[in-house]
A = this chain, B = another copy of it.
Amino acid sequence: MKLDAVDVRQAASAADIVYEALRKAIIEGALAEGENLRQDQIAQMFNTSRIPVREALSRLEQHGLITTQRYKGAVVAGLSIEEIEEIFEFRALLEAEVIRLAVPNMDRRTLELARRHCDEFGKESDSAKWGETNRNFHYSLYEAARRPYYLQIVRASLDRIDRYLRAQLTLTDGMKRAAREHEAILDACTKGDAELASSLTRDHILDAGRSLVVFLKEQRG
């Protein structure tokens, strides 16, 4: 007997499904910041009870995507400009280090995959998909660092500001500029220049952060 066995114990629980759906909605900006999240309402949307919803909300709160108040409920978390600046600064530190550690481990497969994501990002016309292709590109390089803990934190910090980052990409030349910077980063990786890849990544993140903050300060007054 031979068949493609899958581990059924990895089947997603109701809480997993609700969590992933809400996480995606918040990251993509489908749920506006400050929006109320009623347990009952969400439970009905997913044809389940409030218990798995509560667990999903608990996870979202741990990740900083929502804030809750006892007996008052959950709202989609909003970030102040100071908080956004801090997270961009943090990401610059962390991702610059991750790619420095990653470069020595990059093999042909990694670079080819990154090349595909890079091209895809450059060609993508649907602005709704930029966030996803942007992630794919960076993660495809970061994976080579073989640092699961670092990557977990990278993911969590990106989750928090992804909504804003997507807004930044749609700004005037945010997208074109990001595409150019991606090319430069990928080039450095291909050449095996870890220091260059690291400092380019750092600048890439800090630049995006700066132009986003300028934009938000105008917008918020």
Which A residues are within 8 Å of any B CB, using their own CB? 9-11, 13, 51, 54-55, 58-59, 62-63, 69-72, 83, 86-87, 90, 93-94, 97, 147-150, 153, 157
Contacts and interface: CB of A to CB of B under 8 A. Distances in A.
Q: How many copies does the complex hold?
A: 2
Contact of A62 (B10, B62, B149): B62
A171 to B, nearest CB: 24
A72 B10 CA distance: 12
A70 B8 CA distance: 10
Given A55-B55, A63-B62, A150 B90 contact: yes
B11 A70 contact: yes
Given A51-B51, A59-B62, 17 more contacts: A9-B70, A9-B71, A9-B72, A13-B70, A55-B58, A58-B58, A58-B59, A83-B148, A83-B149, A86-B148, A86-B149, A90-B150, A90-B153, A93-B93, A93-B94, A94-B94, A153-B153
A153 to B, nearest CB: 6
A153 B149 CA distance: 12
A69 B10 CA distance: 8
Contact of A149 (B55, B90, B148, B149): B90
A20 to B, nearest CB: 14
A9 B86 contact: no
A55 B72 CA distance: 17
Nearest to A10: B70
Contacts of A148: 83, 86
